[in-house]
Amino acid sequence: MNREFRLKSNEGNVLDISAVGLENINKAPCLILVHGFKGFKDWGFFPYTSEILSKCGYFVVSFDFSHNGVSKNGSDFFNVESFAKNTISLEISELVQIIRAYKSGFFGNTITGKIGIIGHSRGGGIAILSSLIEDADAYVVWASIAKFDRYTERQKTEWRKQGKIEIVNSRTKQVLQMNVEMLEDIENNKNNSLCVKKAVNKLNKPLLIIHGTEDLTVPIAEGEQIYDWSNKSITELKRIPACGHTFDIVHPFSGSNKKFDQVIKKTEDFLNEIFIKS
């Protein structure tokens, strides 16, 4: 059983949420899926992942960050102004509020369930950083970034000069922009609240890192860096050979493949070992 929810955030924004597997809500853990940069809850593998994991007995939540700029039908960017005003700190705050909403019974659940967070790309970094504020019980990151400061000094200089930086959405060909507040947020907090290394060092919960060996968007070296920072006794690193950033999944979704099947299977096994067998 599936249902759509809307949560009014502390910042006054609205978070659109898809809940899948409501029949499992009071008998199994909650899994929260976190999309990445230029992503959204209905992109490619997210609905499929929600369905697969709900069939494994989990209650699964996916959501749109308020400033991801995606239309309600999940197909195109439409709100350039909203997208431009986004920051990493805002996304962390919104994920924390989703976690706390579940813990408070927002979805109609009992308030005793455990939580697993699954983040892709930038969403992996957001998932890990959220642990500095609000704990979950397990973390899975797919093709995760290890740092948010990803820009050259030349790019930063021009960004400050123009007050914005332009980027092209390769899927829709739409020209988007990020205001200088995004850069300021990254630079002002990169050693504290936006430091992935610090969060991984402090993370005392099971962590699974899955990364494609041919990821050109976020090189596998970043997944390996996260693993190097981690507590090896409760962390696993799974490399998917000859595989890119989205594990060869496209949008609109046209079905799974052998590589993504490995991602799902490893994720299931990891979570089941924590939540089902323990």
Q: Give a yes or no: residue 166 inside a domain.
A: no
Mean pLDDT of 86-112: 96
With beta carbons less than 8 A apart as the criterion, state whether 238 and 169 touch: no
Predicted confidence at residue 153, as pLDDT, reads 97
Planar angle of CA 70, 107, 45, nearest 5 degrees: 40
Question: By three-state DSSP, how is residue 52 classified?
Answer: helix
Residue 66 gets which letter from DSSP?
A: T
**What percentage of the chain has pLDDT greater than the value 70?**
97
Please report the sign of the dihedral spanned by the C-alpha atoms of residue 224, residue 227, residue 233, residue 236: negative
Mean pLDDT of 93-120: 95
**Residue 274 banded pLDDT, cuts 50, 70, 90:** very high
Mean pLDDT of 240-255: 96
What type of residue is 67?
A: H
**What percentage of the chain has pLDDT greater than the value 90?**
90
Q: Over the chain, what is the mean pLDDT?
A: 95
Tokens, residue 15: 């978070």
- Range of lowest pLDDT (91-95, 140-144, 168-172, 200-204): 168-172
Domain range for 90? 2-79+86-148+189-275
Q: Give a yes or no: residue 196 inside a domain.
A: yes
What type of residue is 224?
A: E
Domain count within the chain: 1
**Residue 172 banded pLDDT, cuts 50, 70, 90:** confident
Close Cβ partners of 238 (under 8 Å, ≥ 6 residues apart) = 208, 209, 210, 211, 262, 266
Q: Give a yes or no: residue 205 inside a domain.
A: yes
Mean pLDDT of 230-234: 98
Radius of gyration of the chain (CA): 18
Mean pLDDT of 120-137: 98
Mean pLDDT of 48-77: 88
Separation between Cα atoms, residue 140 and residue 126, nearest integer Å: 12
Predicted confidence at residue 72, as pLDDT, reads 65
With beta carbons less than 8 A apart as the criterion, state whether 89 and 126 touch: no
pLDDT beyond 80 at 76: no
Planar angle of CA 143, 149, 153, nearest 5 degrees: 135
Neighbours of 82 (CB within 10 A): 15
Give the distance, in angstroms, between the CA of residue 76 and the centroid of all CA atoms in the same chain.
Answer: 19
Q: What is the CATH number of the domain that holds 269?
A: 3.40.50.1820
Q: Give a yes or no: residue 143 inside a domain.
A: yes
Mean pLDDT of 4-21: 97
Predicted confidence at residue 36, as pLDDT, reads 97
With beta carbons less than 8 A apart as the criterion, state whether 249 and 44 touch: yes
pLDDT tens-digit series, residues 181-204: 999 999 999 999 999 999 999 999
DSSP H or E run through 117: strand 115-120
